[in-house]
Amino acid sequence: MIPPYWKEITRTGEWFNNTGFLNTGFYMKNIISILLIIGCFGSVYAQSPGMEKIFNGKNLNGWKAPENNIWWTAKKGCLNAKSSPDKKGSILWTERHYKDFVFQTDFKMGDGVVDSGVFLRSENDQIQIGISGSLKRDMTGSPYIPNLRYAAEAKGVKDILKPKGWNTIKIMSVGKTYTVWLNGVEVMAYTSENMPATGPIGLQLHPGNDMTIYFKHIVLAEL
């Protein structure tokens, strides 16, 4: 999509002088503004209508930081998760509880064997991000339930996931059913019979691993 301002300034004749050549003065004056608009527009595009930020990019306000937190830090718009020396692991929970919702975040897998995920209302239902510790392969987008292990497997992830780049995962949870999209492609839907009606959302740093993972543009819409 093209930002409205781009359409407006290209519609006018100010980009070119009366000889038909580029008006360099006007170009230089506005190019920085245009680049900023495009950058911001990308962020706005990532947030679908109705989505609100639940991570402000500056600190952990709105989240329950674990005691003696050494795992989770906010810096330059990113939520950074890094294993501690003892590889204890950690979960970062939202302060608020949610019923039906759409949750979305960008994530990038860093160093080490990344085993992370998004908990939905409790530790009973988790959407995997990265390598499964039990299966020793990537199960991004698949639901992990402790007594069932991987109750289903996300489809086509190998062709969608960018292992070294930024990815976007979206999860819609309605009642006991949740649906997952990875980089805009629906990869999984599952109904979990023991899923609680309400609860917080958690981001996981799996114990036993030495790893880093980054999150940004964490947004949510209540349904």
For 52-222, CATH number?
A: 2.60.120.560
pLDDT tens-digit profile of 118-148? Answer: 999 999 999 999 999 999 999 999 999 998 9
Mean pLDDT (whole number) for 157-165: 97
User: What does the H/E/C string look like for the chain?
Assistant: CCCHHHHHHHHCHHHECCCCCECHHHHHHHHHHHHHHHHHHHHHHHCCCCCEECCCCCCCCCEECCCCCCCEEEECCEEEEECCCCCCCEEEEECCCECCEEEEEEEEEEEECCEEEEEECCCCCEEEEEECCCCCCECCCCEEECCCEECCCCCCHHHHCCCCCCEEEEEEEECCEEEEEECCEEEEEEECCCCCCCECEEEEECCCCCEEEEEEEEEEEEC
Domain spans of the chain?
4-46, 52-222
> Which pTM value belongs to this model?
0.78
Q: Which residues pair with 85 in a beta bridge?
A: none
pLDDT above 80 for 156: yes
